[in-house]
Amino acid sequence: MRGLVIAGTDGSAPATAAVEWAADDARRAGAELRIVHVLDRGPYAITGVAVPVEPEDVLMRAAERVLKQAETAARVRCPETRITTQVIEGVPSEVLLDQAREADELVLGDRGLGGFARALLGSVSTRLAVHAPCTVVVVRTAPGEPSHEIAVGVDDSEHSEAAIAYAFEEAALRGATLHLVHAWQVPVHAFAPEISYEPGTIRDSVRRMVRERTASIQAGYPEVRTVTDTPCAHPVDALTGPDFDLVVVGTRGRGPIASLLLGSVSRGVLHHARRTVAVVRRAKEGP
């Protein structure tokens, strides 16, 4: 259950989508919503160039306009929700990382007004998905109607448990179908070609693992319709191919480098998902 949802905004279209997503989520979960705009004066301090008159007043007024527009958009969607707003000066990624220490959920657009337009994911969203100590939701503005389908990546590591619990809660709040996804691939042994695997046996084993990993959490959400997806595919393709409204991943699974702050699958899903992605950390897992 969420107590505080924080949405970061810079006035861009993705940020507005993030505020609206956060407002809907706070309303469904009965949480408080805080909307934060970070006023970064750095880009306006150009060496050797005269600073405009009263730059602080001009920039602050612009920041307050951005925040007011975001608050208005949120109140339209959740008039009964407690909403607070803040303008905080500093570097966006640093300020929002500090804010994340108070939050149960931090919601961001996939990119803001800065950065490289051709990048798959903005630098601020990437950094926070990796380092924030709470759940980070990265929202994309996707065309078309919602599918009412949610997917969660399931593996046999402890890092997927929090993601599974979050996904079941979201599915229950939304009345959505939850896809329990574990993609597998037959190992290729270049130096041991005599080793063979029976795909049917692998699939049965995988489905059994998914049932065992999700059974205790699923028992608390009997109303949620689930579908077990165990394709022979790369995990990123399995989670990003279909048009899910929300894809939920843990921070890392059974990858080869356990010390990574964000696993390769989670990172790949963040960059290639068509719609919203939630990166969920375990309760005791720090940044």
Look up the pTM and report it. 0.87
Which regions of the chain are under pLDDT 70?
1, 44-56, 112-121, 142-143, 187-197, 252-262, 283-287
Strand partners of residue 105: 5, 135
* pLDDT tens-digit series, residues 220-230: 999 999 999 99
Give me the pLDDT at residue 256, please. Answer: 43
Phi, psi of 259 (to 5 degrees): -80, -5
Of 252, 210, 249, 241, the closest CA to residue 227 belongs to 210
Sheet holding 105-109, edge to edge: 83-89, 32-39, 4-8, 105-109, 135-139, 276-280, 246-250, 149-153, 177-181, 226-229
Q: What is residue 154's predicted lDDT score, i.e. its pLDDT?
A: 94
- Name the fold adopted by 4-139: Rossmann fold (3.40.50)
pLDDT of residue 2: 80
Q: According to the model, what pLDDT value does residue 51 have?
A: 56
d(CA 38, CA 178): 35
Give the single-character DSSP code of 232.
B
pLDDT at 46: 67
Query: Given this model, what pLDDT does residue 243 score?
Result: 87
pLDDT digits (tens, 9 = 90+) for 161-173: 999 999 999 999 9
Top CATH class, 149-280: alpha beta
Residue 28's pLDDT is what?
96
Q: What is the pLDDT of residue 99?
A: 96
- Domain residue ranges of the chain, discontinuous segments joined by +: 4-139, 149-280
Write down the pLDDT at residue 259.
38
E strands of the chain, at which residues?
A: 4-8, 32-39, 83-89, 105-109, 135-139, 149-153, 177-181, 226-229, 246-250, 276-280
For residue 274, count other CB atoms closer than 10 A to its CB: 16
